[in-house]
Chain A
Amino acid sequence: MANLTLVQAINLALIQEMELDDRVVLLGEDIGRNGGVFRVTEGLWQRFGAERVVDTPLAESGIIGTSIGLAMGGMRPVPEIQFEGFLGPAYDQLCSHAARFRTRTRGRFPMPITVRVPVGGGIHAPELHSDSPESIYVHTPGIKVVMPASPYDAKGLLISAIRDPDPVIFFEPKRIYRAFREDVPEDEYTVPIGKARVVTEGDDLTIVSWGAPVVDCMNAIEAGGRSAELIDLRTLYPFDMETIAASVRRTGRVVIVHEAPRTCGLGAEIATRIMEECFLSLEAPIQRVTGFDTIMPYYKLELDYLPGADRVGRAIEEVLAY
């Protein structure tokens, strides 16, 4: 066991997958000598050389587009997009090509690409360095979307993502890159894509969240003292409805928490699925604590935007009031 931060756990997963499979290549901006702007790839360029840890020209469309070619050519590219706000130029290659290649070639060209992307707010970063665009990609058929909320899951999920035969966007919640440590096995292990994690068990309500807000939910539960079952979704597509439904059938009450804007956020899909599959168990309307339907504000106001423990705590009391 090693006691690691989320950054270190990802770093370890990358090292181990690169040792194991020489088809794995990393590409992105500043990931080489500099070890990435968040130091996620620290030491990898020195260890594996500039052929496998590649500083590319400053072009996100280029990074994803060439990853597609690398994948077709038999490699397992792990591109990094420096911040979620710069997925914009990569969108076309991701959604018009990576997501569709397997289907439109009837399986001839699968896309084993893992796109690593730091995501979310709360670090006092400039504009376009704090967004939560996960729903856009959840809504894009052909892509899997993963977002770990703990070092253990980060390592296991990243290994699964790299080994997965389909394109995976691996969102890394930057607010908790170094927020806490956790025991992480030094050996390789996988956390399956598509399986949620029950963080705390409880009887009175179910909270569904992912990414950095999972920590806010834990704080809200601790402060409020209610018996809440907290589910960390971990995989956003395909998400684990089974775990959610089993919990909701027991508790009858649900709060969904995410940082992304509310309208058409993944919370909307989860709420609908709960309504469809657990209608007879529901005791209260499902509550959503989310980002507002606005542009993510500059950092002076980012705490007003983020669904912090206070707002989660209030929603918990409100679903219990029914």
Chain B
Amino acid sequence: MPVEPVYRAEISRVSILDEHGRFDGALGADLIPDADVVALYEHMLLCRTLDEIAFKLQRSGRMGTYPQNMGQEAASLGAAYALDRRDWMVTCYRENAGLFWHGVPPELILLHWMGDERGNHIPADVQATPISIPIGTQMLHAAGLAWAEKLRKTGAIACTFFGDGATSEGDFHEAANFAANLDLPVIFVCQNNGWAISVPSRIQSSAPTFAQRGLAYGMESIQVDGNDLFAVVYVMRDAIRRAREQSRPTFIEAVTYRLRDHTTADDARRYRDAEELAAWEKRDPLVRLRGWLESRRLWSPDQEAAAKERSQSEVNAIVARAEGIAAPAAGDFFNHMYAELPDELRRQRDTMRTSSLGQDPSECSREPSPPPSPAHAH
């Protein structure tokens, strides 16, 4: 046969707790202990509260531009829950829930969006990189981190997060290619929330799934309901096993939706239909998880009220900590430029000026040096 298929592929989608509350007992059994589900739910609630307060802080001028995470909590949280503390989380800005679970102090994230670089100083014992602003760049860093862990034989792996839009950047493709061809223990989690600011995901990919992007580089690729915490944990465990045992990468497309504007500088009503939003509100990962807990009698209205109160006061304390940090000193932005500050930069810092360094106008009234005397002129 002169023409025959040389390759066929298929992408699976994993869903365990669906939007109607149906739970797949086979896949979901013993996946997460009940007590952990309760803790994860409470954590999600805390993140949701923080997100709402952050929005208000921006609106009242106490914080700069802030990207709300609302609706996307399950993807990064499920991933962080499945990872070990020794594993790396390399994220952009819609992974608050996972980062906090992984140990990043929430006040640091607030501080970052309050325009304070100290918000990026992640404690030395937390394996996370700071929020990455240039879209699509951080996946290469994750590949490098995974590579280092592999060379050092630590058993740790890296998990990186990015949006659907980010998969259009060249760096994403380079990261996937490095990871697949150099056998790097890295997990790519694409949070496909349907939009890159105002641009719908079909402008980023004409394929039916984003998971195919991973497949194209020869790595295991799967789609998951990103608003289903159970399903995310399930696919992550599989990917983690592959990374740790075979040093192979995985691409996970977590299908989700941002329930708020891109950032506080955006107005999604300009480009999104109200019906689309309404449909996704019904798939809210927080509501879904609460429904599951209630159906198992693991959660009561009283517990809900108490948890809400707790998260409110905890968020108040987080905000107080972020706002309680004294403003950085004027020259602070010089201090970490180099291991050792070059003299010239030190001068700029100490004088806070770039003009007329080292020259004194009074010197120009100095008498010109006298001409040589005739006696010595031969």
Contacts and interface: CB of A to CB of B under 8 A. Distances in A.
Interface string A284-307: 110111111111011111101101
B133 A318 contact: no
A34 B198 contact: yes
Nearest to B115: A299
A58 B333 contact: no
B333 A315 contact: no
A58 B345 contact: no
A294 B355 contact: no
A59 interface: yes
Contacts of A33: 198, 270-271
A294 B356 contact: no
A295 B196 CA distance: 27
Given A37-B265, A89-B169, A288-B355, A29 B334 contact: no
A264 interface: no
A58 B169 contact: yes
B361 A287 contact: no
A176 to B, nearest CB: 18
Contacts of A32: 198-199
B271 A34 contact: yes
Given A30-B199, A58-B165, A292 B133 contact: no
A313 B352 CA distance: 14
Interface string A37-63: 100000000000000000111111110
A287 B355 contact: yes
B116 interface: yes
Interface in B192-216: 196-199, 203-204
A315 B356 contact: yes
Interface string A259-293: 00010000000000000000000001101111111
A305 B165 CA distance: 32
Interface in A14-40: 29-30, 32-35, 37
Given A284-B364, A304-B331, 5 more contacts: A58-B165, A58-B196, A124-B64, A288-B354, A315-B356
A315 B199 CA distance: 46
14 contacts: A30-B199, A32-B198, A86-B135, A89-B170, A124-B64, A126-B115, A284-B361, A289-B354, A289-B355, A291-B354, A294-B333, A300-B115, A300-B328, A307-B354
Contacts of A292: 333-334, 345, 348-349, 354
B337 A295 contact: yes
Contacts of A290: 354
Contacts of B113: 126
Majority secondary structure of chain A interface residues (helix, strand, loop or mixed) = loop
B327 A318 contact: no
Interface of A: 29-30, 32-35, 37, 55-62, 85-86, 88-89, 124-129, 255, 262, 284-285, 287-295, 297-302, 304-305, 307, 311, 314-315, 318, 321-322
B133 A29 contact: no
Interface in B328-378: 328, 330-334, 337, 344-345, 348-349, 352-356, 359, 361, 364
Interface in B125-160: 133-136
A124, A291, A292, A298 pick with most chain B CB within 10 angstroms: A298
B177 to A, nearest CB: 16
A294 B134 contact: no
Contacts of A301: 115, 328, 330, 332-333
Per CB-CB distance, the 7 closest pairs between chain A and chain B, nearest first, are A299-B115, A34-B198, A297-B333, A57-B168, A58-B165, A321-B361, A287-B355
B330 A58 contact: no
Contacts of B84: none
Contacts of A288: 354-355
Contacts of B354: 262, 288-292, 307
Contacts of A85: 133-134
A126 B64 contact: yes
B203 A56 contact: yes
Given A58-B199, A294-B337, A305-B333, A299 B166 contact: no
B353 A311 contact: yes
A210 to B, nearest CB: 16
A293 B270 contact: no
Contacts of A37: 197, 265-266
A127 B117 CA distance: 9
Contacts of A318: 355-356, 361
A50 B204 CA distance: 16
Interface string B165-180: 1101111000000000
A89 B171 contact: yes
A34 B270 contact: yes
Nearest to A125: B65
A58 B168 contact: yes
B135 A58 contact: yes
A161 B339 CA distance: 43
Contacts of B333: 292, 294-295, 297-298, 301, 304-305
B46 to A, nearest CB: 24
B109 interface: no
B356 A58 contact: no
B184 interface: no
Contacts of A322: 361, 364
A294 B345 contact: yes
A289 B171 CA distance: 37
Contacts of B198: 30, 32-34, 55
A163 B359 CA distance: 46
Contacts of B75: none
Interface string B48-91: 00000000000000001100000000000000000000000000
A288 B356 CA distance: 7
B170 A59 contact: yes
A43 B16 CA distance: 44
A59 B168 CA distance: 6
